[in-house]
Amino acid sequence: MLAPVVTSALVISLAAACSSGSSEKKGASTGGTLRVGVVASTISTLDAYANLRSQDFYVRNATMFEPLAHRKKDGGYEWALATGITHNDDNTEWTVKLRPNVKFHDGSTFGADDVIAVFQRVLDKKNALIERNYIDFMDPKGISKVDDLTVKFKLPKPYGPFEFAVTNSNIIFYKKDSKPEQAMGTGPFQLVSFSPGRETLVKRFDGYWGEKPKVDQVKIISFKTAEASTNALIGRQIDASSNILQTSLRTIEKTPGLKIMKSDVNLKVSIGMRADTEPFKDVRVRQAMRLIMNRKLALSNAFDGLGELANDHSGFNRCLPAVPQREQNLEEAKKLLADAGKSNLSINLETAANKPGMLQLVQILAEEAKKIGVTIKVQKMELGAYLEKWGERVFYTGYDTRPYLEGVPEIISNDAVLNHTHWNDAEFKSLAAKLYATSDPQEQCEIEKQMKKIEYERGASILTATNPTVSVYSSKVNGLIPEFPSGNLYDFRKVTIDQ
């Protein structure tokens, strides 16, 4: 049922997909400290699960904790803490086999109890964790230990994409009853020190079950803005970063000693329109905003021509609906706004400018809107202050890197932090229910197409372009791999640094 683990397949597929490819090199020396730059707010914590998170959280977690399996581009899995997942005929009982001889950073053994504890915590409504949306088809009482290395999940009703759900890279495992600040995981690196908003230092874990990392330490350094991390890279204060300013790529190309790596397209910078408040309550206003955007100009000038045009629906290059590419149409936009009685709309657009091209994108929208008498005032905010009111904002920027199956639960959630556009569409919700009942990929794809068409027709996000993640790293660093699907530099196991 599942594709077997072929480590080399991962490397080959990545090399084929990335224009610069993975930077693996043989015979490089080992040791040293890798300094990775991330754009992060000051409010992140060391807990493996938290609701306010920025880049540092993901990078840190990826070094210290592991999921059951890593997803692969071809739809298969590279097993990590699990070694296999089986199910009964009607998709109601799933059995997860765990990897034997896996040690936590304190030397104790990983087992079924730890897995059950994590699932119980994620499923507990009181904790209000984002991950619950990926697995809320589960009944916490239905999870039971068969033996130390086997966990059985009895579901209240059939659920098709079980493996997909539980192998979410954010569902990671720590030692049962350990404290959050211990960060007691099984990952290839263990915690040395952490200062919120500044840096995290991790070192190689010698008891790691898999191939041990070659570098001694990884230092994850937080920056307030992409400008700052880009400048730090150019100034050689850091060795690698996935949070760089795309507008400076031309400068970086000319800078000796720096290399650029592009992943597959996996990022959509979105402009959200809160669908339960004025003026975006009216679908005509939302559609008008989408028609105002000059997508081609945005792709070439805000995103430096990296990536492809997007069509106002989420998800990436699989299962696309049969709708034409939306183009700028100011006449139509003007008419829609007039019909809605919002001809001289004036509104603030808030952004933290925390992704490449974001600030440029909103400026292009504001400039195009001006042509039909709509005033959009751009408000650039500090990331911490911006995130505090996440879920309450009316016109704002965000970004999405998730596969469709994972994004949908958030779009249909009743929680404002997840469904930040407050979009609520009955037909979309009923299709979503069908999507998760089937385990047939073909059928899933057909349903996805219908759902994306609804998003295209009446959704609440402006999705202009789909971008690759562009990372920049020092040419002294070898073996960096863009993680699938995020395209970020999370995996440092194969990294070596030339001394």
Partner 1 sequence: MIRTRPTEQGVQAPPQNLTRRVLTSKQTRLGLIMLVTMILFAIIGPFLTPHSPTAVIAKPYASPGDGLLLGADSLGRDIVSRILSGGINLTWMGIAATAGGVILGTAIGLVAAFAGGIVDTLLMRVVDVLLTFPTIIMAILFISMVGPSRWILVVLVAIGLTPGMARVMRGAARPVMRREHVMWARTIGLSSRHILMREVLPSVTSPLMVEIGLRLMWSVVGLASLSFLGFGVQPPDADWGLMVSENKDGLAIQPLAVLIPAACVALFTIGGNLFAEGAARVIGRTEGARS
By the criterion CB under 8 A, which residues form the site for partner 1? 225, 227, 230, 245, 247-248, 250-251, 254, 297, 300-302, 304, 350, 353, 359-360, 363-364, 366-367, 370, 377-382, 384-385
Q: Rounded distance, CA 396 to CA 353, Å?
A: 10
Q: Which residues pair with 465 in a beta bridge?
A: 309
* Least separation in angstroms between CB 54 and partner 1: 16
Tell me the one-letter amino acid at 105: H
* H-type alpha helices, 141-188: 162-166
Indicate the residue among 349 and 411 with the shorter CB distance to partner 1.
Answer: 349
| 428 close to 255: Cβ distance less than 8 angstroms | no
Tokens linked to 332: 């139509």
Q: What is the DSSP letter of 280?
A: T
Q: How near is the Cβ of 23 to partner 1 at its closest, in Å?
A: 24
Strand runs labelled E in 196-257: 199-204, 217-223, 240-241
Considering the complex, what minimum distance in angstroms separates the CB of residue 339 from partner 1?
Answer: 27
Cα angle vertex 458, ends 418, 345, to 5°? Answer: 90
Closer Cβ to partner 1, 227 or 415, answer by number: 227
Strand ranges inside 88-147, DSSP E: 93-98, 143-147
Q: Cα angle at 326 between 393 and 470, to 5 degrees?
A: 65
For partner 1, give the closer residue by CB, 375 or 475: 375
Distance CA 367, CA 363 (A): 6
What is the closest distance, in whole angstroms, from the C-beta atom of residue 245 to partner 1 in the complex? 6
Residue among 327 and 427 whose Cβ is closer to partner 1: 327
- The minimum distance between CB 292 and partner 1, in angstroms, equals 13
Specify the residue, 226 or 495, whose C-beta has the smaller distance to partner 1: 226
Smallest distance from partner 1 to CB 189, Å: 32
Dist. CA 395–CA 376, nearest whole Å: 10
Q: What are the helix and strand counts (H, E) for the chain?
A: 15, 21
Q: How far is the CB of 352 from partner 1 (least distance, A)?
A: 10
What angle do helix axes 358-370 and 283-292 make, rounded to 10 degrees? 100
Q: How far is the CB of 385 from partner 1 (least distance, A)?
A: 5
Nearer to partner 1 among residue 163 and residue 368 (C-beta): 368
Residue 380: how many other CB atoms lie within 10 Å: 13
